[in-house]
A and B are shown apart, each in its own frame.
Chain A
Amino acid sequence: MLFTSYEFIGFITVLFILFYAIPKRFQWILLLAGSYIFYYLARPVYVAYIFTTTLVVYLVALKLDQKRAFQEAYLKEHKDELTKEEKKAFKAKEKKSRFHWMLLGLLVGLGILAVIKYTNFTISNINGILSAFGSSATLSFVDIVVPMGISFYTFQAIGYLIDVHRGTIKAQRNFFKFALFVSFFPQLVQGPISRYQDLSETLYKEHKFDSKMFTFGLERILWGFFKKLVIADRMLIGVNALIKDADTYKGAYVFVGMLFYALELYCDFTGGIDITIGVAQCLGVNVTENFMRPFFSKNIKEYWNRWHITMGSWFTDYIFYPITVCGPMLKISKWSRNHLGETIGKRVPIYLSSFVVWFTTGIWHGASWNFIVWGLGNFVVIMISQEFEPLYHRFHNKFHLENNRPYQGFQVIRTVLLMSCLRTFDCYRDVPLTFKMFGTMFTEGNYNVIFDGSLLNIGLKISDFIILFIGVIILFMVSMFQRKESVREQIYRISYPLKVCIWFGLFLMVIIFGIYGIGYDATQFIYNQF
Chain B
Amino acid sequence: MKKVLKYVITIALILVILFFVQKLFMPKYVSDVTEGRLIAEYYEEEMDHDILFVGDCEVYENFVPAMLWTDYGYNSYIRGSAQQLIWQSYYLLEDALRYEKPDVVIFNVLSMKYNEPQKEAYNRMSIEGMRWSKSKVDNIYASMTSKEHFIEYVFPLLRYHSRWSELEEEDIEHIFDTDVRFHNGYYMRVDAKPAKDVPGGEILGNYQFGDNSYKYLDMMTKLCKENDIELILIKAPSLYPYWYPEWEEQMEEYAKKNDLRYINFLELQDECNLNWDEDTYDAGLHLNYYGGQKVTKYLGDYIKNEIGLKSRRGDEKLEKIWNEKLELFNSDLENKLRELEGE
Chain A: residues with CB nearer than 8 A to chain B?
6, 461, 463-464, 496, 500, 504, 508, 511-514, 516-520
Contact = CB atoms under 8 A, between A and B. Distances in A.
B10 A461 contact: no
Contacts of B147: 518
B168 to A, nearest CB: 14
B14 interface: yes
Given A6-B151, A517-B149, 5 more contacts: A461-B165, A496-B6, A508-B21, A511-B161, A512-B164
A511 B14 contact: no
B162 A511 contact: no
B127 to A, nearest CB: 14
Contact of A517 (B14, B17, B152, B165): B152
Given A6-B151, A463-B165, A512-B164, A517 B6 contact: no
A461 B165 CA distance: 9
What are the 8 A-B residue pairs with the smallest beta carbon separation, nearest first? A463-B165, A512-B161, A512-B164, A6-B151, A6-B149, A519-B162, A500-B10, A518-B147
Chain B interface mostly helix, strand, loop or mixed? helix
A518 B164 contact: no
B165 to A, nearest CB: 4
B165 A511 contact: no
A518 B21 contact: no
18 contacts: A463-B165, A496-B6, A500-B10, A504-B14, A504-B17, A511-B161, A512-B21, A512-B25, A512-B157, A512-B161, A513-B161, A517-B149, A517-B158, A517-B162, A518-B120, A518-B147, A518-B159, A520-B162
Contacts of B151: 6
Interface string B10-25: 1000100100010001
Contacts of A517: 149, 152, 158-159, 161-162
A500 B13 CA distance: 11
B282 interface: no
Contacts of B6: 496
Interface in B140-184: 147-149, 151-152, 157-159, 161-162, 164-165
A463 B149 CA distance: 27
Interface in B19-42: 21, 25
B157 A511 contact: yes
A87 B130 CA distance: 84
Contacts, number: 37
B294 to A, nearest CB: 40
Nearest to A521: B147
- Count chain B CB atoms within 10 A of each CB in A464, A512, A513 and give the residue with the most: A512
Contacts of A513: 161, 164
B148 A518 contact: yes
Contacts of B148: 518
Contacts of A464: 165
B158 A511 contact: yes
Contacts of A514: 161
A222 to B, nearest CB: 14
Nearest to A5: B149
Interface in B107-130: 120
Contacts of A463: 164-165
A464 B161 CA distance: 14
Nearest to B166: A463
B66 to A, nearest CB: 37
A375 B148 CA distance: 41
A464 B166 CA distance: 12
Contacts of B165: 461, 463-464
A508 B147 CA distance: 23
B172 to A, nearest CB: 16
Contacts of B157: 511-512
A500 to B, nearest CB: 6
A2 to B, nearest CB: 13
A502 B14 CA distance: 12
Contacts of A518: 120, 147-148, 152, 159
A461 B159 CA distance: 20
A513 B152 CA distance: 16
Nearest to B152: A517
Contacts of A508: 21
Contacts of B158: 511, 516-517
A349 B25 CA distance: 63
B98 to A, nearest CB: 29
Contacts of B17: 504
Interface in B199-245: none
A512 B160 CA distance: 8
- Residue from B6, B25, B152, B165 having most chain A Cβ neighbours under 10 A: B165
A520 B161 CA distance: 12
A461 to B, nearest CB: 6
A55 to B, nearest CB: 36
A496 B5 CA distance: 13
B150 to A, nearest CB: 9
A500 B147 CA distance: 33
A498 to B, nearest CB: 12
A511 to B, nearest CB: 6
A219 to B, nearest CB: 16
**Which of A461, A517, A520 has the largest count of B CB atoms less than 10 A from its CB?**
A517
A195 B177 CA distance: 58
Contacts of B120: 518
A519 B158 CA distance: 12
Contacts of A496: 6
A6 B148 CA distance: 11
A513 B164 CA distance: 7
Residue among A463, A496, A514, A518 having the largest count of chain B Cβ atoms under 10 Å? A518
Contacts of B162: 517, 519-520
A508 B24 CA distance: 13
A21 B265 CA distance: 63
Interface string B234-265: 00000000000000000000000000000000
B119 to A, nearest CB: 11
A508 B21 CA distance: 9
B236 to A, nearest CB: 30
A520 B162 CA distance: 9
Nearest to B22: A511
A500 B14 CA distance: 9
Nearest to B124: A518
Counting chain A CB atoms within 10 Å of each CB, which of B151, B157, B161 scores highest?
B161
Contacts of B25: 512
A514 B25 CA distance: 14
Nearest to A7: B149
Interface string B258-277: 00000000000000000000
